[in-house]
Structure 1
Amino acid sequence: MKRVKAPCIARCTSISRRIVTQNLVLGLRAIHGSHAAKPIIHVERADVYHFGSVQRSEAIFKDLTWTVNAGEAWAIVCNSNATRGEIFQMLLGRRRISPVPSKGLYPFLSISGQSSKDLEQGAVLHVAFASKKRIAGGGFTDYTARYGAMRDQDGRTLRDSLLESLANEPLAAPPTEFTPLETRAAHENAIPKDQCQEIDQVAEKLHLVPQLDLPLIALSNGQQRRARILRSLIRHPRLLLLEDPFAGLDVVQRPLLSNLLGQLNSEQDPFVVMELRPQDPMPEWITHVAVVDGQNFRLMARQDYSPFVQTDSLATSSASPVQSPTNASQEPLMDLNDVRIHYGKREVLRDVNWTIRPGDRWWLRGANGSGKTTLLSVLTGEHPQSYTQRHFRMFGKPRSQVPTVSIQRKVAVFTPEIFAAFPRKLGQGAMTARDAIGTGFENTYSYRSLNVEQMAAREELILRLAPGSTNEDKWQWSLTPFAELPPPEQALALFMRTLVAKAPILILDEVFGGMDDQMIKSCSDYLRDSIGQDQAVIFVSHWEHEIPWADVQKYQLAEGTGSVSVQK
């Protein structure tokens, strides 16, 4: 059924209920000037605990003192995986503070006649991009369904999703060509214009206007990250907490987002506090830095902060250049000629030509929305249109003649989608870290028993890459339930899952996102020194310094079309 395009105002009447709440927020802003001296955040000599912990020895932080004032711009840099995200968990009320701050955690929200608890409803919003632990029963989510859903012209758009978030309930069905004119007119006049105009205005600042009317599931990873920030901004928070906001963004979008956040913070609309990785560039507008090292919480002015030093590449100068055996006698592992992927009239990929041979080291790069995720779904055989490509051969055969289960065993993949979708069941039947690594032999998402040879290969990887100073530490880590690991260590376990079977092709998409610098160095060393000479690697990253190899072939995507060059 063909969908009739309706303007932004054609949605749900219940959004008007949101106006009352937003007027309250706007009213609070109007009187904010008289309370400008009140701190935004204030904690003084407090211990921070998980709920249920009572012994001081169990405290996450001890004697924590921290004040954030208006006119300041704060970034938190966490050097410890164990305490990453804990400051934000405290700010969100998910950790116990002892003693409780006498004037509330957010003094600037304490206005006569209103309690902080009442005002914090929607006044403090949190956007995190790392996966959270799931409750018992948290099974695998089929992320490949997105490719089928994108063929549906009635797919839920980003605009629909934003309007639903304002309404706090699902939208009524959008009008179609069969909707009576009077019903269509009622739809179009249901929502205040200023609400819809604001969505357009904020989307323009985040460079998301072209994506507003695309199916939400069709957005790239970077676009989805910006969309989550957009969703928060249109709800008018007083304080916005952002974890790893620049991870997964291309070199164009990173400074644009940074400048926007700096402007919002300077205008106090909203105040912004970010948590960054040690390797992330520090935005110029940041005035103060809080460095978290285990239980230590060090506060300093921006000029006193010593940032992580990034080299041009993680490849060391002593590393031997990759010798890719790309002569004509090598049978290609994959050969794409004139590959084209489209949804109706919209082309996502066109005229893609790419040959991948044993031993190749490729850096796949491109701006957010350039088609990288779609291209990877073709290489893994997950995209439905991969079957219909006339000139796409995999392992010497046309794609249509290669069973999907065979592809899964020959192409090992790490992507943000797999990281988000991997089962995180807790309780009985939960997988340990070593169980999760072992699923890589068959590319499954549930426990599988291994033979002696497979167990030996898994243990070798664990002893090489797992965190810990001794083999006993590494072994104990591998017995930890996967869902209980911090997100960076979950990423490390899934990285080992990708390596364990020594598949002919490795696809590593933003594999270092969320890892600390020591993890990145260990994993990069392994990729450079221990990957088989006959294995091909496709490495996807927006950060040049993450590339493990001194010499690498580059496949650049721009607006759905690819080109080949050599990075030296």
Structure 2
Amino acid sequence: MRPPIIRIAGGTFYRHHPNALSSHPNPPLFSQLSFELPSSPPRPQHWCVVGPSLSGKTTFLQMLRGRLLSDPPTARSFPYLSEDEAPARLRNPQRAVRYVGFDAEQNAGGLGGGSVTASAYLSARYESRREITDFSLRDFLLGNTQLNPPKTPLGDEDGTVSTQLLDRVVRDLKLSHLLDLPVTFLSNGQGRRARIARALLTRPEVLLLDEPFMGLDPPTVSGLSPLLQSLAEKASPRLVLSARPQDPLPEWITHLVYLRTDCQVGSMGPKEVVLDGLKKYVEGIKKGGLSEDEKLPVHSLLEVGRVLGSTASSASETAAATQAIAQDLSSTDTSAEPLVEMDGCQVRYGDKIVLGNWSQQTPNGKKDGLIWTVRRGERWGVFGPNGSGKTTVVSLLGSDHPQTYSLPIKLFGRSRLPEPGSGMRPLTFWDIQSRIGHSSPEVHQHMPRNHTIRQVVENAWADTFRAIPKLDSAAKQKVDAALRWFAPELRPNAAASAPASDDGGLSWADDYMFGEISFSAQRVALFIRSMIKSPDVVVLDEAFSGMDDAVRDKCMLFLTDGESKTHDRAGRVVDSETAAVTAVRGLTDRQALICIAHVKEEVPGCVREWLCLPEANTGAPARFGRLEGPVGEDEGRWAGVWGFGGDYQGW
């Protein structure tokens, strides 16, 4: 039998050398860990690392690829890679074990972030093509992204990628029609699929996928899971996934690692054994026979083990259902002030229409493009497949897209261009930015990593990401209140036991930089930034992806009720101890909410109006509707939004 690809025998891991002097704590991670990823097991082993926010899922994957310090150094090895049968191009673990994550910080040399576009402002993605970012998706996949590329192997021994492999990967990941587009034009979901494709083209022995389904629309998830299953079954490459506790697990996963909240392994082994042990733990606590381990919280285990199916509705079934459930919004309160008005918007790149390739019926007949009005007090959900134009809609709302000037759009009752005879000056970019709170993958990508946690939140009062914010005493009070409220979610675990300081225990917010905290904590900070100053419009574009259910639910409660409500240990909503002196209130009837999400649990319960964009270039119209209640509580409502038929079983 061949030796394992990765072998860890009694290793303890550290971010920095245990004897190094540092102002930040350096606790041991995964103490006395033993783990093997076999190269040729008698029975297939398909692993998934599961854990709540701040438990160290990404850290575990980075440890597998050799990024953390091992004590002793010999505890971690890669035995198979030194065998004669291992290809010469994969003798280096950095090439043999590839990591694909969706935090912009991890996106080195990659797509939509890192060294490619991180220095540009948001609108730069939509401007004319520039020398350093004008390479196409085809170039990106083949590694042709530099004028003088280094001689490093990408696919075969000579660094080339076979046509057959390229065709299969782009077909399976639904990228064929995008090959000639500049990578800066890709949507978030398309960019994520592209990064997976590029990793597959390097033909690694092991592919570490950090929450691969995060941010993908349900049809794409249903199609991607079987693709990953086929790769796993052929062991080409061997896959190790990560997931949150509430995420459905692909049915083909055989082994689990469940992490505690202190970066230690809580349980590891065959999936059935791990899930059975966690289930007995939860039952024991509910019956009173066991006491809850605060590092293994019960609330994070309630949904563990749900199964992600491998089938998806056919295009014809979906189209038929789509036509059947379209609703109107004739009961809309037209007396409320319109904040966003789009009256037939089409966004084009050359002869390609990326948004608004349809006609909508109006009282004056049919009109091409998106027609949509958002009024004060409304709570909108914007849905649609990856590439349908959701990110483009957000860029039009924030006026980041240069075509905003030429399209029939009004924001806060005014146009971006002078209107003869109106007596009103045109809106400036800064006018709009000051009245819209925005959290999205693009904001996440561009937020400076050397900002402190406090600076990220205070940036809500700044004109640009690096400008100095202008805060009055009330604003400072709001920032302190929010940081204190979300301290368990923002403050690195290693610092949680530090004694309180004279500032009420908030010194950590000035000590830790945005780039030092976990992906989930970064998303929490950006969420706070989006709504902390009570803007007229709050835009949450995949704002809750990457959070576990408890963190997400706390953010949603803060969104609607501010500090006045909280969750008790049983998960019930109760009045908070600070309700009488609340500095931060939730959404008011003077504000509008626009939420973009692909998972029903990430749609705030207050959302009632919805817009579902059609798949790109189908010619099908956008659909609108109204929800009778929270979409997260009813599979039928969610199925209706997406246009799935009666056999829908969830995902």
Same fold (TM over 0.5): yes
Residues 140 and 423 of structure 1 are in contact (CA less than 8 Å); yes or no, is this contact kept in structure 2? Answer: no
CA distance in 2, matches of 1:57, 1:465: 22
Q: 1:165 to 1:271 in 2, by over 3 A?
A: farther
Q: Which SS does the other structure have where 2:32 is aligned?
A: strand
Matches within 5 A, 1:13-412: 35-36=1-2, 38-54=3-19, 58-69=27-38, 70=41, 71-81=44-54, 83-101=56-74, 105-112=77-84, 118-132=91-105, 141-149=120-128, 155-164=134-143, 169-170=148-149, 195-293=162-260, 294-297=262-265, 298-304=267-273, 305=275, 308-309=302-303, 326-350=332-356, 351-389=369-407, 391-400=408-417, 401-412=426-437
Cα offset, 1:407, TM superposition: 0.3
Q: 1:82 to 1:168 in 2, by over 3 A?
A: farther
1:452 matched residue in structure 2: 473
CA distance in 2, matches of 1:378, 1:96: 45
Q: Which SS does the other structure have where 2:105 is aligned?
A: coil
Residues 140 and 445 of structure 1 are in contact (CA less than 8 Å); yes or no, is this contact kept in structure 2? Answer: no
CA distance in 1, matches of 2:164, 2:195: 18
Q: Which SS does the other structure have where 2:229 is aligned?
A: helix
Q: Which SS does the other structure have where 1:81 is aligned?
A: coil
Cα offset, 1:526, TM superposition: 1.5
1:440 matched residue in structure 2: 460
Which amino acid is the alignment partner of residue 194 of structure 2? A
CA distance in 1, matches of 2:398, 2:159: 45
Q: Which SS does the other structure have where 1:132 is aligned?
A: helix
Residues 82 and 486 of structure 1 are in contact (CA less than 8 Å); yes or no, is this contact kept in structure 2? Answer: no
Which amino acid is the alignment partner of residue 394 of structure 1? L
2:534 paired with 1:502 = yes
Matches within 5 A, 1:524-539: 524-529=556-561, 530-539=586-595
Which amino acid is the alignment partner of residue 36 of structure 2? T
User: 526-535 or 459-468, which moves further after superposition?
Assistant: 459-468
Q: Which SS does the other structure have where 2:604 is aligned?
A: coil
Cα offset, 1:284, TM superposition: 0.4
CA distance in 2, matches of 1:418, 1:212: 26
Residues 101 and 210 of structure 2 are in contact (CA less than 8 Å); yes or no, is this contact kept in structure 1? Answer: yes
Which amino acid is the alignment partner of residue 499 of structure 1? M
Residues 139 and 424 of structure 1 are in contact (CA less than 8 Å); yes or no, is this contact kept in structure 2? Answer: no
CA distance in 2, matches of 1:42, 1:521: 38
Cα offset, 1:61, TM superposition: 1.9
Which amino acid is the alignment partner of residue 130 of structure 1? D
Between the two structures, name the one with larger relative contact order (CA 8 Å, sep ≥ 6): 1
CA RMSD of aligned residues (A): 3.3
Residues 555 and 562 of structure 1 are in contact (CA less than 8 Å); yes or no, is this contact kept in structure 2? Answer: yes
Which amino acid is the alignment partner of residue 8 of structure 2? V
Which amino acid is the alignment partner of residue 455 of structure 2? D
CA distance in 1, matches of 2:128, 2:53: 39
Cα offset, 1:164, TM superposition: 2.4
Deviation digits for residues 211-269 of structure 1 (CA, Å, limit 9, x no counterpart): 11111111110010000010011111011111111101000111221111111111111
CA distance in 1, matches of 2:430, 2:26: 50
Cα offset, 1:488, TM superposition: 1.3
Which ranges of structure 1 fall in alignment gaps of 5 or more residues? 1-34, 172-190, 313-323, 426-430
Q: 1:236 to 1:134 in 2, by over 3 A?
A: closer
Deviation digits for residues 365-396 of structure 1 (CA, Å, limit 9, x no counterpart): 0000001111111111111111111x321111
Q: Which SS does the other structure have where 1:356 is aligned?
A: strand
Q: 1:413 to 1:112 in 2, by over 3 A?
A: same
Q: Which SS does the other structure have where 2:348 is aligned?
A: strand
Residues 139 and 423 of structure 1 are in contact (CA less than 8 Å); yes or no, is this contact kept in structure 2? Answer: no
Q: Which SS does the other structure have where 2:590 is aligned?
A: coil
Which of 375, 399, 424 does residue 449 from structure 2 map onto?
Answer: 424
2:320 matched residue in structure 1: none
Residues 161 and 201 of structure 2 are in contact (CA less than 8 Å); yes or no, is this contact kept in structure 1? Answer: no
Which amino acid is the alignment partner of residue 417 of structure 1? E
Cα offset, 1:548, TM superposition: 1.7
Which amino acid is the alignment partner of residue 82 of structure 2? S
Which ranges of structure 2 fall in alignment gaps of 5 or more residues? 109-114, 151-157, 279-300, 307-329, 357-368, 418-425, 490-495, 562-585, 629-651
Residues 139 and 145 of structure 2 are in contact (CA less than 8 Å); yes or no, is this contact kept in structure 1? Answer: no
CA distance in 2, matches of 1:476, 1:134: 30
Q: 1:259 to 1:100 in 2, by over 3 A?
A: same
CA distance in 2, matches of 1:100, 1:192: 32
Cα offset, 1:140, TM superposition: 5.3
Count of aligned pairs between the two proteins: 494
Q: Which SS does the other structure have where 1:495 is aligned?
A: helix
Q: 1:168 to 1:245 in 2, by over 3 A?
A: farther
- Identical-residue share of aligned pairs (%): 31
CA distance in 2, matches of 1:539, 1:343: 26
CA distance in 1, matches of 2:508, 2:474: 21
2:624 matched residue in structure 1: 564
User: 437-446 or 228-237, which moves further after superposition?
Assistant: 437-446
CA distance in 2, matches of 1:94, 1:449: 40
CA distance in 2, matches of 1:166, 1:377: 26
Deviation digits for residues 280-309 of structure 1 (CA, Å, limit 9, x no counterpart): 211100001001112431203212325652
Residues 49 and 257 of structure 2 are in contact (CA less than 8 Å); yes or no, is this contact kept in structure 1? Answer: yes
TM-score (norm 1): 0.80
Deviation digits for residues 140-193 of structure 1 (CA, Å, limit 9, x no counterpart): 5423201113699x942100112225999549xxxxxxxxxxxxxxxxxxx999
Which amino acid is the alignment partner of residue 239 of structure 2? V
Residues 49 and 57 of structure 2 are in contact (CA less than 8 Å); yes or no, is this contact kept in structure 1? Answer: no
CA distance in 2, matches of 1:108, 1:249: 34
Residues 222 and 369 of structure 1 are in contact (CA less than 8 Å); yes or no, is this contact kept in structure 2? Answer: yes
Q: 1:147 to 1:111 in 2, by over 3 A?
A: same
Cα offset, 1:492, TM superposition: 0.9
CA distance in 2, matches of 1:194, 1:486: 35
Which amino acid is the alignment partner of residue 527 of structure 1? L
Residues 51 and 259 of structure 2 are in contact (CA less than 8 Å); yes or no, is this contact kept in structure 1? Answer: yes
2:611 paired with 1:555 = yes
Which amino acid is the alignment partner of residue 540 of structure 1? I
CA distance in 1, matches of 2:625, 2:177: 30
